[in-house]
Amino acid sequence: MSKKSNEEDLAEGYCFICKDGGNLRVCDFRNCLKAYHPDCLDKDPIFLESDECWTCGWHYCCICKRAAAIQCYCCPKSVCGTDSCIKEAVFVQVKKKAKGFCSHCLKLAILIEENKDVDSDGVRSV
């Protein structure tokens, strides 16, 4: 079995953006098992068949595009760790770890913690 096939077998069975299953592309970054729908990445369906190496947003800063130092727990957003990028991205680092929350996911986490009945866009359910 090839290394790529083995990684795809171990990869997450749902899209890291929309959390749905289906036809997914696994990130090529070493040991990353995050998977994504082409539509969620604004890519054409042919993206699934591409042999071109592709790295997901979890591995580079969403502001300056340098290597990521802090990754959001819930989505592919990451920052390099410089104060300016953390501030511009409105990113909250958790306990000096390499993980945290982007502003959108932090808002959702707080709503969940407060037991609010909202969807993933923060819209209150009826």
Cα 64-67-70 angle, rounded to 5 deg: 90
Question: Could you report how far apart the first and last alpha carbons of the chain are, in Å?
Answer: 49
Name the amino acid, one letter, at 56: C
Question: Which stretch of 39-48, 62-71, 90-99 has the lowest confidence by average pLDDT?
Answer: 90-99
19-29 residue pLDDT tens: 999 999 999 99
74-115 residue pLDDT tens: 999 999 989 999 999 998 888 777 899 999 999 988 888 887
For tokens 């130092």, the residue is: 69
The domain over range 3-49 is classified in CATH as 3.30.40.10:
yes
2: pLDDT strictly greater than 50? no
What residues does CATH 3.30.40.10 cover in the chain? Answer: 3-49
6: pLDDT strictly greater than 90? no
pTM greater than 0.85 (yes/no): no
d(CA 92, CA 106): 8
